[in-house]
Amino acid sequence: MASELKKYTTFQVGGEARSLHFPMSKAELVLLLETLENPLVLGAASNVLISSSGVDEDVVITTKVNGFQLKKLGIRNEELGIKNNSSFLIPNYSLLEAECGAKGQLLARETQKAGLSGFEFLIGFPGTVGGMVYMNAGAHGQNVADTFLECEVFDLKTKKTLTLTKEDMKFAYRKSILSEKDYVLLSAKFALERCEQEKIDDILKRNIEFRKQHQPPLSLPNAGSVFKNPEGDSAGRLLDLAGAKTLTIGGAKVYDKHANFIVNFNNATSLDISQLMLNMYNMVREKYSICLVPEIKFVGKKTKEEQKIWEELLNS
């Protein structure tokens, strides 16, 4: 049965999918991935623009595969080349195991309660573990790679489950091996450091205040940062100086407090947002000779106009 996707995305934009699936567990997710042919897998769909024309694929939404647990972090002797099953604990660190659909904002709060540092940047973050690992999400001087240990992924090509180490992930600015391979993240492990509660609370408070002052609230439909920061600079700064805050197309406009955000204020379409992105891109290119790179990913069937726009945006 075809299903409309807009209600499942933070942009609140998106047409119909061939079919829509909500696995309730990691085992059920794996079964779906084994059965479906090249499905589109989404979490909170917080960093994507889904076509208003819809998508041809079967869509799997992982937000109900959201289990997590905290426990003391230990290393088995066998990992050190010692042949017995005992292990020793690493002082001041705890292990967080989280499934792909666990919300970043919830993990920020739960690790705060546990007196653990490393996930403060996720406060106010709309996405899930799958998305944040996929793009090595980061803010306020912290990112996923800082605490990442390993993850379990499903290879859509071989239909096998793999374990990837931090080295395997090839983390870089807003990217990982997951964006290059047909891998779907199932779960991940992170090492979080015990810290003074007052310090963690202060960091969270500052991050929340920053988001209130500079970024749209989660209640205002948006997909996070529109463009990646150029090396040594800020996309928001360049867009602001270029005058992008004045731009509006259809039901989409540039957020008035931060020029690197687009908000859907009146039933915007994927074409509205794509055209607005191109106008933002062209303003910076013309003024600074800098070609911004989209952080938002377009998913689904493109109209001829959207095809032309995204070819220009991605051929920079």
Quick one: fold of 235-314? 3.90.78
Tell me if 2 sits within 8 A of 16, measured CB to CB: yes
Q: Mean pLDDT across the stretch 133-157?
A: 95
Query: Does 225 participate in catalysis according to the annotation?
Result: yes
Q: What mean pLDDT comes out for the span 164-173?
A: 96
In the chain, the amino acid numbered 173 is: Y
- Per residue in 187-200, pLDDT tens? 999 999 999 999 99
Average pLDDT over residues 83-93: 65
Q: Which residues pair with 56 in a beta bridge?
A: none
Residue 286: Cβ within 10 Å count: 10
Q: Which CATH class is domain 3-61?
A: alpha beta
Q: Which of 140 and 293 is assigned the larger pLDDT?
A: 293
Per-residue pLDDT band at 92 (split at 50, 70, 90): confident
What is the per-residue pLDDT for 2?
Answer: 57
Residue in 153, 118, 120 with CA at minimum distance from that of residue 134 = 153
Mean pLDDT computed over every residue of the chain: 93
pLDDT at 29 over 90: yes
CATH class as words, domain 68-78+87-200: alpha beta
Considering the candidates 46, 225, 270, 274, report the single residue annotated as catalytic. 225
Whether residue 54 has pLDDT greater than 60: yes
Mean pLDDT value across residues 23-44: 96
51, 52, 117, 174: the catalytic one is 174
Domain extent listing, the chain: 3-61, 68-78+87-200, 235-314
Average pLDDT over residues 71-87: 58
pLDDT in tens, 239-293: 999 999 999 999 999 999 999 999 999 999 999 999 999 999 999 999 999 999 9
At residue 82 the predicted structure's pLDDT band, cuts being 50, 70 and 90, is very low
Q: Clarify whether 196 is annotated catalytic.
A: no
Would residue 81 be called left, alpha or beta, if left means φ above 0 and alpha means ψ between -120 and 50 degrees? left
Q: Give yes or no: 312 in active site.
A: no
